[in-house]
Every structure is written in C-alpha cells, then in structure tokens.
A and B are shown apart, each in its own frame.
Chain A
Amino acid sequence: MYKFFRFSIAALLALPLAALAHGPSRQKAQKEVEVNAPAEAVWKALKGTCSIADWHPAVATCEGKGEGKGATRVLTLGEAGSGKTIDEEFTMFDDEKMTFKYKITKVAADVLPVNSYAAQMIVEPDGAAKSKVIWKAGYYRYFTQNDPPKGQDEEAANTAVNGVFEAGLAGLKKFIETGSKN
C-alpha cells in the first residue's frame, strides 16, 4: 500500500512536469540507402537543382534558378498548384566529393514544421557497382518560443523530416534502379 501510495504521488508529481512545455532544442535526422548503381550515376541523378522532382514522391513540381552553390528552388508538394511550397537554397556544392548542402529559406508549418533547417546529401561509392546515399539535417521545431502548439513541436518536426528522408531515399533508389518515379 505504502509503495503504491509513494508511486502514485511520484506519478502525480511527474505528470504536470511532463506536460509543461519547454523551449526548443536543435534536432537532427540522418538516413541512408544502398543503391545498386555506381556512385557517378547516382550523383548524376541527384545533383541537378531540380533533380529532386524526378525521384521524390512528395515533390510534384520544382522551379529552379541556377546550378550549384547559390542556386535556389521552390518545391511544390502534393499536387502541382497545391500552394504547399518549400523555398530552398544550395549553400555548398562539391562535384568532386559528390555532395551538396542546402537550407530551407521559407516554409509554412503545415507543409514542413521546421525552423532553421540545413541539410546535406552525400553519395559514397561502395565498390564499383554500388553506392550509398546519406541524407542528414539539423533543424529546430517550427515554433521557436516556449509552449509550442500541437503540430509545431519537436515530435512533429522529427516525424516530418524522417518521413521526407525515408520516402525520398526509397524514391531515389527506385528511380535509379528502375528508371521510374512511381
């Protein structure tokens, strides 16, 4: 009885603490996929400013400006004309090392609930016929003040980014290995 009582007091004390909202801390996500193709072929499918529209199942259209570092793109998610857009900018581009970095410059919470999002994609050879694609990002939840509303907290941000990575890498693998997006 005493033990139970002590436990319930502890539980009662813990509940409001757990419910208390808190300030944001930076989150990270990293996913990778093995592709049955040489690294050069994978990099070719990846490196264009708007290549992502070829293979990412969530990306309907892409409007790009420029190539390499400094290039920008506006992705439309879902269906063309949905208005669900993400503005991005390439911040680093290394053809030799087969990697680029980009950041999100503008996005709405109901499209991707993140803030200060910066990401990198890397292609690594795995022998002559295979390669590995790594996608990683650092970001904050969308709501940068204390007490985030539901859907703008860390969990929402992490679920969304991991979902984008998983669907994207599976799509990329499929596009390279079969030549089709869907």
Chain B
Amino acid sequence: MNRRRLAFLLCAAALLQMRGINAAPYAYITNQGANSVSVIDLASDEVIDTIAVGSKPAGVAASRSGDRIYVSNPESKDVSVIDGASRKVIGTLKIGEGPLGIALHPDGGTLYVADWYLNFVSVFDTTTLKQTATIPVGRSPSGLALDPTGKRLYVTNRDDDTLSVLDARTYAPIALIKTGKAPFGVTLTPDGGRAFTANVQSSDVTMIDTEALAVTDTIPVHEFPYAVAVDPARNRIFVTNQHDDSVSVIDLGLGEEIKRLDVSGYPEGIALAPDGRHVYVANWFANAVDVISTETLEIVGNIAVGEGCRAFGEFIAPRP
C-alpha cells in the first residue's frame, strides 16, 4: 500500500468516525408537569433544547429518520407534531378524549394513537395530518407498537388484560392474547419475533411468540412495571418498575432477573440507544433521565430534564 492510499484511508476513517459522532441520536423526553419536551443529545448526554407542546404530554413517537416527533397530550386531548430539524411544533392533531399511547409506522407515513377513554386507536396520515380511521380495541388501550416490517400493530388493553394484534394496514384483528394483569407498555424485539408487555398489577412481564401468537413465558419483576426495552445483542430486556424505583434486567435465556438496578425515582419510559451501549430511563418523580451501561449494568449518567418526565414510547431517533 502506498503512502497516498494509506493517507486517504486514514482520512476516510477519520471522516467516518466524525460522521459517527455527528450522527449521535437525540432523545425526546416528554415532561408531563412542564408541558414540554426536553431534547437530549446522546453524544454529550446534555439537554440542548426544550420544546413547548400541548397540555400534560406523556407519549412520544419519533420517526426512524428523526424528521418528525409526535407527542400525545392527554389534557389538551391532542398530539403535537414536532419538526425534528427546526425543533418547532408545526401542527396539532385533535384526538378524542384521552390520547396516550402513540406509535409510528416504520415508513413514517401513518401515526397510531390510542384513546384511553374511547377504547379505540386513531389512525392519521402524517402527510395530510388528517384522521383516516379509528380502530376499535379493548378497554383502556395504552401501549402501542408496530412490528419492524410494518405489517402488524400491537395494542395493550390495560383493563382487559389483553394484547390486541391487528393488521397495521387493514386493521383486521389477527389475535387477542391474554397477558398478565393490566398490561401497559408493549415492546417488540428488532426482528419482530417476540413481544413483551409490562403488566402493572401482576408485577410481571408477558413474553409472546409473535409467529405462534402465544404466550411463551411470564417473568416476575417488581411493583408496577411500566415499560420494556430490548437489548438484542445480549438477549436481555430492561423493565421499569415504577413503585420499586428500579429497573429489572432480565436474561431471556434464563427467563429471570439477573440484576435489579436502583434508579432515580419512579422510572417510566425506557429505550436502548441505537449503538446498543446505553439504555435511557425517564424518572417521573426525580425529573431526570438515568443512563445505564448495557455492558456493566451500572448507572453511568443522570440528566436533569423537566417536571414529571415520562417518555412513554419510542423516544430516541437519529438527529435529523
């Protein structure tokens, strides 16, 4: 290899690395008590902006490209549409009586919002910002998730102890699966093969084989589990336990908890960063986001955000 070529390669490698740093994603944390969204730069773990949204924001769904972020506001009964590049609210979608759970189709074109009171999921076209359908589901629908190919929509029905599996395009029901008591968050593995529901009242997690559409395991965690994040590389899940002020780390091979991490207080929304190195947890009581190392399973950071942070949903996305 000649010198010039080596210099070129080194330069290219450096550029790639810079690009890697520049491409660090953002986390969008809903602050329910402050009516705002904190934007965290995951390269520095610092809040770089705070965006005013609707009233009592809770749910969040960021697009895969990071160009749009949707936030559900249960009190103003609407969804704030945030433009990722300008970090400004560019639209508001009026929704039923109690918008909470929110999820975006992987193609970014369709938004699904669960209405806690009216027991349906509203469907929106994200280009026209018009409602295109309402899908009847069970009682108090809360968590929503799409499978990675965008074929199916999963909905937890908290007051029915069930998970609805629906066709994401035709809305036809595919299955209704019995879970633990009061399922709230639902999360899929990146390959879509397994779904997990956090069951608030039975203090456990239901694991579902999405091909067989059957429950394969029920894993005990601690008081008031709320949401689940998946670490596919290590075959683990992380579960927030609200009343226990902890995060359970579950080894899926063993089917049991391998570590119980004390976090800042009343943990809610949880997500794995795209590089797989850290899990971010919004702590409602502590108004702070804890950063967990997936390698050491220790808390390696704590980021102050707004009053009553919740971040229920897909809150991490590439910077636009």
**If the complex has contacts A91-B243, A118-B243, A138-B284, are A22 and B77 also in contact, measured as CB distance less than 8 A?**
yes
Q: How many residues of B contact A (CB 8 A)?
A: 21
Give the complex CA separation of A23 and B75 in angstroms: 6
Q: Is A101 an interface residue, CB under 8 A from the partner?
A: yes
Write the chain B residue with the least CB distance to A92: B244
Q: Give, as a whole number of angstroms, the nearest-CB distance from B25 to chain A.
A: 28
- Which A residues lie at the B interface, using CB under 8 A? 22-23, 25-26, 28, 91-92, 101, 103, 118, 136, 138, 145-146
Interface residues of B in 32-86 (CB under 8 A from A): 32, 55-56, 58, 74-77
Write the chain B residue with the least CB distance to A136: B285
Write the chain A residue with the least CB distance to B246: A92
Q: Give, as a whole number of angstroms, the nearest-CB distance from A155 to chain B.
A: 14
Write the chain B residue with the least CB distance to A145: B117
Q: Is B308 an interface residue, CB under 8 A from the partner?
A: yes
Q: Give, as a whole number of angstroms, the nearest-CB distance from B176 to chain A.
A: 24
Query: Of B97, B243, B244, which is within 8 A of A146 by CB?
Result: B97
Query: Of B75, B76, B223, B308, which is within 8 A of A91 by CB?
Result: B223
**If the complex has contacts A91-B223, A92-B244, A103-B243, are A22 and B75 also in contact, measured as CB distance less than 8 A?**
yes
How many residue pairs link A and B with beta carbons under 8 A? The number is 48
Write the chain B residue with the least CB distance to A91: B223
Residues of B within 8 A of A25 (CB): 32, 56, 58, 74-75, 308
Residues of A within 8 A of B77 (CB): 22
Contact A23 B32 (CB under 8 A): no
Q: Is B138 an interface residue, CB under 8 A from the partner?
A: no
Q: Is B116 an interface residue, CB under 8 A from the partner?
A: yes
Interface residues of B in 164-191 (CB under 8 A from A): none
Give the complex CA separation of A127 and B299 in angstroms: 28
Contact A28 B285 (CB under 8 A): yes
Q: Give, as a whole number of angstroms, the nearest-CB distance from A20 to chain B.
A: 9
Contact B308 A28 (CB under 8 A): yes
Contact B285 A138 (CB under 8 A): yes
